[in-house]
A = this chain, B = another copy of it.
Amino acid sequence: MEAEIIAVGTEILLGEIVNTNASFVAKQLATLGITSHFQQVVGDNGERLDDAISLAQSRSDLVILIGGLGPTPDDLTKQVLSAHIGKPLVVNFKAIDKLIKWGKQQQRELTDNNRIQAMLPLDATPLDNEIGLAVGAMTEAFDTQFVLLPGPPKEMEPMVINQLVPRLLDLQADHQILVSRVLRFYGIGESALVTELADVIDGQDNPTIASYVKDYEVTLRLTARADSDEAALALLAPMEETIMGRVGEYFYGYGDHNSLAQTVVEALKSKAMTITAAESLTAGAFQAALGDVAGVSAVFNGGFVTYAEATKAKFLGINQVELAEHGVVSEFTAKAMATGALNAANATLAISFTGVAGPEELEGQPAGTVWIGVAHSTGVSAQVFHFPGSRQDVRYRAVKQGLFMALRAIQAH
């Protein structure tokens, strides 16, 4: 099967957004063993989009259109494809239900543009949108499979993984199945990880290995192709063993829908522990990450954002003289913050963050210098890090590092 991706959006042609969608989908196609010799980008213009579709159809048998399913007048992809293949748009009931619920919940009138988001070419297979309102679609015409995907990555990516990939597998002659195992790592860069595993990756065929970087984490997706789950798992096991033998120290969990924060919350639950935090440069981002996890209330009662020196002293009961003596960017302060938070919030584990987010230096220490403290009834410790990158990079890397240290601390108790 020969695939072609058409990314639709004037903002791509203007260079206002980078076409990451094409690379995400391309990677999935490669994993499926579907070749692709061309990609196109076209703007929000019906005529030119139609030309792009005709061209793709003339040389590919799987045409994947990404973007232009939104509620604005310049979102035309669905309408243009419908006209191109001569299949009128009809309402998808599941999608319109969802849209109506959304309208009610938000107490907002639905526009006609909204309604188009819930429509599909006649007889098309809907691809449910787990996150947003625009339903995707897959439909055949002129011996070509056409796929409609939404532009926002957080809607498009799960639709591809959960809805499109299984259907593409069915289209393939051998009807084999794909079984993936996703391994999540923190504390090692992608290039370092890939170097560690160079021979495994070079030799890859079945299972395949793909690495992804997101939010300072590296994810490896191992995908085996076989006639049965058992056969696929048998192919995956030895490769996973090799990988864990090399980089297991950085491994923290499995699965697409996992995160360091989620792993931390689950670990806390399993040990019946509770967590709190005292955050300076991260300013609440660590606790907000925990808050992303449903059910966190079982292990998290609250904590502190202590940005100013005076606030560190007041909220956490730290001796202001000693604080001034050691400075806020210090092992003393990191430990005192963690211990202070542990007591003030009466939790079993406390993480503290103090350092220099930047861009300016602080107390003569360069941006990126971050002390992270870990307090537990059994004692307190702190470690210093020098994170590269922007103010945001420094703060969010600190959060990830804090989550990783929390996880190891929980596992140690």
Choose among B105, B300, B315, B345 the residue that contacts A386 (Cβ–Cβ < 8 A). B105
- Tell me the bound Cα distance from A211 to B48 in angstroms: 20
* CB <8 Å contact, B37 and A14: no
Q: Which listed segment binds B: A21-29, A225-233, A371-379?
A: A21-29
Write the nearest CB–CB distance from A308 to chain B, whole angstroms: 4
Choose among B24, B26, B40, B297 the residue that contacts A308 (Cβ–Cβ < 8 A). B297
Identical chains in the assembly: 2
Q: Tell whether A310 is near chain B: CB-to-CB under 8 Å.
A: yes
Q: Which listed segment binds B: A118-126, A163-171, A184-192, A243-251?
A: A184-192
Q: Which listed segment binds B: A278-286, A317-325, A401-409?
A: A278-286
Q: Tell whether A20 is near chain B: CB-to-CB under 8 Å.
A: yes
We find that the number of chain A residues with CB closer than 8 angstroms to chain B is 102
Q: Tell whether A368 is near chain B: CB-to-CB under 8 Å.
A: yes
Q: Known contacts being A111-B195, A284-B305, A291-B281, is A16 close to B27, with CB within 8 Å? A: yes
Choose among B16, B302, B392 the residue that contacts A315 (Cβ–Cβ < 8 A). B302
A304: chain B residues within 8 A (beta carbon): 302, 304-305
Give the contacts of A1-25 with B (CB-CB under 8 A).
10-20, 22-25
A10: chain B residues within 8 A (beta carbon): 210
- Tell me the bound Cα distance from A312 to B297 in angstroms: 13
A283: chain B residues within 8 A (beta carbon): 284, 287-288, 290-291, 296, 300
Q: Tell whether A86 is near chain B: CB-to-CB under 8 Å.
A: no
- Tell me the bound Cα distance from A137 to B195 in angstroms: 26
Q: Known contacts being A23-B12, A285-B291, is A41 close to B39, with CB within 8 Å? A: yes
Binding site for B on A (CB under 8 A): 10-20, 22-30, 36-43, 45, 48, 52, 55, 70-73, 102, 105-108, 111, 113-114, 131, 189-192, 194-195, 198, 201-202, 210-213, 221, 277, 279, 281-288, 290-292, 294, 296-297, 300-308, 310-312, 315, 345, 357-360, 366, 368, 386-388, 390-392, 395
| Beyond A38-B41, A105-B388, 7 additional pairs, beta carbon < 8 A | A13-B37, A19-B39, A38-B42, A40-B40, A283-B290, A284-B288, A302-B308
15 interchain pairs, CB-CB under 8 A: A12-B23, A13-B38, A14-B30, A14-B36, A70-B191, A105-B386, A106-B388, A283-B287, A283-B290, A284-B284, A294-B360, A296-B307, A297-B307, A302-B306, A302-B312
- Across the A-B interface, give the 3 residue pairs with the lowest CB-CB distance, nearest first: A283-B291, A284-B284, A15-B27
